[in-house]
Amino acid sequence: MSHPNTQVRRVYDPLLRALHWAIALSVVALIASSQLAEAFEHGPYETTIWNLHILAGYGLTAALVTRLLWGLVGPASARGQDLWHPATWKASLKNLRLPSAHRVGHDPLASLAYLFAYGVMALMVVSGLGLAASEFQTGPLAAWLGNAGWVEDVMEDPHEFGFALMLGFVGLHMAALVFHQLRGERVAQSMVTGKQYLDAKPEVQHD
């Protein structure tokens, strides 16, 4: 339920939102194409589907690199610092309770999950580019790793493990958004409109 003193703030800039959706779409395309390629294994379309998977991987790579740069030079709510809240994390762990106040910008606890997801996505990009080079002789690493059979042995397990972690993140992210929606908190819309609806409580967190 909205607080009578709810403040509406423009927080997330258009590039940050566009990057969020580019990352989300790439991840969905990567998950779908990997499952399709496995379903059509040894069939006539297998290689085509893996090529689509690799294309979606380039999309994710470009979006992640741009997000990293925007995290260095973008507005306050896009900066890396907006995802870095060690004091809140420590206090939550010590008191074993969720942070109670809402702040302008990214939720402090959710930020921990976002940093984790970015780490997993970086692992997926590095291992994926290695696999594209060694298995399909394509991509920026092909000239270097095109004939390196060992890359497949080393990269395949981390790529599959990262896939499972990514599914976990997406499930948790969706569950958290539904949880806020059910509590009447308009969180999910903020990556569409850029606006946040904040209750005017005295305990707004700033770390």
197 binds ligand HEM (CB under 6 A): no
Q: Contacting ligand HEM (CB under 6 A), which of 13, 15, 20, 101?
A: 20
Distance in Å, CB of 6 to ligand HEM, minimum: 16
Q: How far is the CB of 76 from ligand HEM (least distance, A)?
A: 12
Instruction: Give the largest CA-CA distance in the chain.
Output: 65
63, 22 contact by CB (below 8 A): yes
| Interface with ligand HEM, residue 131, by CB under 6 A | no
Q: Which is nearer to ligand HEM, 25 or 141 (CB)?
A: 25
Q: Is 170 in the site for ligand HEM (CB under 6 A)?
A: yes
Let me know: does 133 contact 144? Beta carbons within 8 Å.
yes
Structure tokens at 165: 């972690």
State the nearest-atom distance from the C-beta of 52 to ligand HEM, in Å.
17
CA R_g for the chain: 20
Binding string, residues 79-118; x marks residues near ligand HEM by CB under 6 A: ---------------------------xx--x---x--x-
What does the alpha-carbon distance between residue 197 and residue 11 come to, in Å, rounded to a whole number?
A: 10
Closest CA to 165 of 197, 131, 118: 118
CA atoms within 13 A on the CB side of 69: 7
- Interacting stretch for ligand HEM, rule CB under 6 A, among 45-53, 92-100, 186-194, 198-206? 186-194
Helices (H) and strands (E) in the chain, counts: 7, 2
With a CB cutoff of 8 Å and minimum separation 6, the contacts of 60 are: 23, 26, 27, 30, 121, 124, 125
Enter the tokens of residue 47. 């290689």
Least distance (Å) between residue 91 CB and ligand HEM: 18
Asked if 24 touches ligand HEM (CB under 6 A), the answer is yes
177 near ligand HEM, judged by CB under 6 A:
yes
Which residue number, 40 or 116, has a Cβ lying nearer to ligand HEM? 116
Residues that bind ligand HEM (CB under 6 A): 16, 20, 23-24, 27-28, 67, 106-107, 110, 114, 117, 170, 173, 177, 187-188, 190-191
